[in-house]
Structure 1
Amino acid sequence: MPKKVRSSSQTSRLLSLDVFRGATVAAMILVNDPGDWEHIYAPLEHSKWNGCTPTDLIFPFFLFIVGVSIVYAMERKALNPANHAKMLWTALRRGVVLIAISLAIQLILHPGFEHLRFPGVLQRIGVVFFICTVLYLKASQKVRDWLFAILLIGYYLLMTFVPVPDTGVASLIPETNMGAWVDRMVFTTNHLWNESHTWDPEGLLGTLPAIATGLFGIRVGNWLKRPNREDSVKVSWMFIYGVLAVVAGLIWDLFFPINKALWTSSFVLFAGGWATIALAFSYWIIDVQGHTHFTKFFLPFGANAITAYVLSDFVPHYINKIRIGGSSLYQILFQPYYSPNNASVASAVVMTLLIWVLMWILYVRKIIIKV
């Protein structure tokens, strides 16, 4: 019989959460580093616009994990209000450092300020982490639930009913929606992501519902930490909660499409539901049933998630610069032996394993790089 590892109410760490974080980071590296961007299997690509692929779930899963982690990392200290000022300052510092890291990566890999992208993945993580920390420390769960609803409903009303100043009508089209207009006004067109510099998938307005994704994680984290509920009850309600969120997202999708780039309210519910289901399954298998033999691969990624993400920018960049007889390593090692799509995904798998080796070295030496 498998041995129960621990209860979430008895420890400040949750093995299933570490594994879930590690698996999410591994998936993020896999989809971000294909051998050939022109040849990618559909599940490993983001949706063109509306809709959702498995790849679209990776970033919201990470922000959901941020919310759950806030509970596990801060619950004890948060009980004493005297700790709050220091905790808020630490959260602000971490948020600023994440933004600085993202900008530094761009400047190192692509020197020059002219087209430096101001929004980004790390920027959104930093902002969501800080605001969710503030709300965790200074607001009750009831207030956070109201804010969750206000963010989702308010964002829906803003995006679908408020006319965009450029056009005079509300729009959910990439270049003409309210979020794109705000980003052009704030960042200017030189500092946005897409080639036409007219919109950005990690823009300012979309950060509002992204905060709701973090709040989703906080609610689930609070539920998992409850000492007066059996594990079977916790898992059952997480599955129910997750399924209901997915269904609600699909219903909302009928008039406010599931869209990762806009981070629509339906996308928050849909992705948050699947994240809750995934964490419930992981918690039951790993923490309750004690099946931990398969977790060792993911833990190094989970322990140094931001470091792994940063290396996933640098390692492929410099490996792709290596030339032997005028050919890249990808052209030598993968293209001649596989179909275009298989060569691309095989290269991505090798790159993920290479970064895992670096993370494993840090993990076995108990080196945790914190921002």
Structure 2
Amino acid sequence: MSNAIPAAPARLLSLDVFRGLTVMGMVVVNNPGDWGHIYPPLEHAEWHGCTPTDLVFPFFLFIVGVSLAYALAGPKQRHEPQGPVLRQVLRRAAVLFGLGLLLSLYPRFDFSVVRVMGVLQRIALVYLGCSVSYLKTSWRTQVILLISLLIGYAALLQLVPVPGVGPANLAPATNLGAWLDRAAFTEAHLWKQSRTWDPEGLLGTLPALSTGLLGGLAAQWLRRAATPATKVRGLLAAGVLCALLGLLWNTWFPINKALWTSSYVLFTGGLALLVLAALYWLCDVRDYRRWAALVVPFGVNAIAVFVGSALLSRTFGLFKLPLPGGGVGGLKEWLYSWGIVPFFSDPRQASLAGAVVCLLVWWAVLSLLYRRQWVWKA
């Protein structure tokens, strides 16, 4: 391998592959055949802890940070007026937030109980905050901001008394973040599975910003004038350090996705750095690209598959059909009951098969869109 220092690439294949793998994981996690018999690794941790499923969302936010640093690098380096760029960033964030609200409203459009926050809403806020930070500050300031958010959030959750409840705590319905969500939105506009707290609530968006900042810092490291081997070593070292710090912090501030704890940010961010390092070495340095063609269609149309799968699932639920075991269910349940369940004795394996079938259907659709170069960008 040459010792020459290459110019920073305009686009990373490894980033599209990483995004594609993450979106594929999201499709499998969000579309089990039977929500009552989820294949164990595809379940979220009950509260504290981390399963493979709990890696999907932070990986995506990390990728958001990497992507925006590449997308905004040109205007920042050319010292162009930032007004037009910031307006574009704000427009995209508003579109993402609006799509999240649409998914919350569809198909009933009952504004009295619409969930205000959600996955796309958090992505929108992280994208907005990290974009402004990238454009307005140096990488050193971003490191200070990241550390300050993690320490400040830990202090808020573990030291500040909860109004009307008592001492600071990390319980689902009585922590400071849950109190803030109820105060800001009322219970009718929170996550419908609880109505007392929201896993994508307001306060938890602060440490989620740190996940995006970590991705942005990784991108700036990759854009440095350095040899590929140096870049990979740096990502690997940072990944191991972050993951170990997250595990250490877990002893007194537990790893928890719903709370998006500081230890969770470091642990999942460390793993994301390691994955990015491996994919960068394979795809962009060693040029192993053929296998990536199976994954990239998910990466370039990530928002389309997220929104499309949610809308289709809820649309199928509008069609009520008789199920083999009695009762009625939506079109998706009907297809699953007739087409997959009879071939499996273990309901968890049948549920996994249902998720894999959904993934294959989306792969066929997205591959067609990719070949025709149809890309939906928010």
* TM-score bucket of the superposed structures, by smaller chain: over 0.9
Q: Point out the more displaced range, 188-197 or 270-279.
A: 188-197
Look up the SS of the partner of 1:109 in the other structure: coil
C-alpha distance in 1, partners of 2:269/2:8? 25
Which residue of structure 2 aligns with residue 51 of structure 1?
49
Residue 356 of structure 1: how far off its partner (Å): 1.9
1:104 alignment counterpart = 102
C-alpha separation between the residues in 2 aligned to 1:149 and 1:325?
A: 55
1:122 maps to which of 112, 120, 123: 120
Superposed CA offset, 1:55-75 (max 9, x none) = 101100000001111111111
Distance 1:303 1:129 in 2: 17
Unaligned runs of 5+ in 1: none
CA shift for structure 1 position 23: 0.7
2:38 partner amino acid: I
Structure 2 SS opposite 1:82:
coil
Structure 2 SS opposite 1:336: helix
- Aligned match of 1:333 in 335, 339, 342? 339
Cα distance in 2 for partners of 1:323, 1:294 equals 40
Helix, strand or coil at the partner of 1:285:
helix
Superposed CA deviations along residues 86-107 of structure 1, whole A, max 9, x for unmatched, are 1111111111111111111232
Equivalent of residue 355 in structure 2, options 348, 358, 361: 348
Aligned residues: 367
Instruction: Please name the residue that 1:238 is paired with.
Output: 235
Task: Return the alpha-carbon distance in structure 2 between the equivalents of residues 345 and 311 of structure 1.
Answer: 20
Whether the aligned pair in 2 keeps the contact of 1:320 and 1:329 (CA below 8 Å) is: no
Q: 1:79 maps to what in 2?
A: 77
Supply the distance in 2 between the matched residues of 1:23 and 1:8 (Cα, whole angstroms).
27
The CA distance in 1 between the partners of 2:235 and 2:280, in whole Å, is 10
**Is the 2:6–2:227 Cα contact (8 Å) retained in structure 1?**
no
Q: Which one of the candidate residues 190, 193, 199 is aligned to 1:201?
A: 199
| Cα shift at 1:168 | 2.0
Offset of residue 110 of structure 1: 3.4
Q: Quick one: which of 260, 277, 280 aligns to 1:280?
A: 277
Among 251, 259, 267, the residue aligned to 2:264: 267
Cα distance between partner residues in 1 of 2:283 and 2:143: 29
The residue correspondences of 1:1-371 to structure 2 (distance < 5 A) are 9-227=7-225, 229-319=226-316, 326-327=323-324, 328-338=334-344, 339-371=346-378
Q: Is the 8 A contact 2:62 2:214 kept in 1?
A: yes
Which TM-score applies when normalising by structure 2?
0.93
CA RMSD of aligned residues (A): 1.8
Which secondary structure does the structure 1 equivalent of 2:290 belong to? Answer: coil
- Residue by residue over 1:246-285, the C-alpha shift from the partner in whole angstroms, topping out at 9 and shown as x without a partner, is 0000000000000000000000000000000000000111
Q: Report the CA distance between 1:322 and its aligned residue.
A: 5.4
CA distance in 1, matches of 2:371, 2:79: 36
CA distance in 2, matches of 1:98, 1:70: 14
Gaps of 5+ in 2: 325-333
Q: How far off is 1:156 after superposition?
A: 0.4
| TM-score in terms of structure 1 length | 0.95
Q: Deviations over 1:314-355 (max 9, x none)?
A: 223334555666551111011111120011111111111112
4+ residue runs of structure 1 moved beyond 6 angstroms?
none
Q: Distance in 2 between matches of 1:297 and 1:321?
A: 32
Q: Which amino acid aligns with 2:79?
A: P
Q: For residues 365 and 302 of structure 1, what CA distance do their matches in structure 2 show?
A: 15
- Whole-angstrom CA distance in 1 between matches of 2:216 and 2:335: 44
Q: CA–CA distance in 1 between the matches of 2:297 and 2:6?
A: 21
Question: For residue 259 of structure 2, what is the amino acid of its counterpart?
Answer: L
Residues in 1 aligned to 2:318 and 2:235: alpha-carbon distance in whole angstroms: 46
Name the CA shift for 1:50/1:26 in 2 (closer, same or farther; >3 Å): same
Using the alignment, how far apart are the partners of 1:361 and 1:179 within structure 2? 43
Answer whether contact 2:106 2:311 (CA < 8 A) is retained. no
- What is the identity, as a one-letter code, of the residue corresponding to 2:16? D
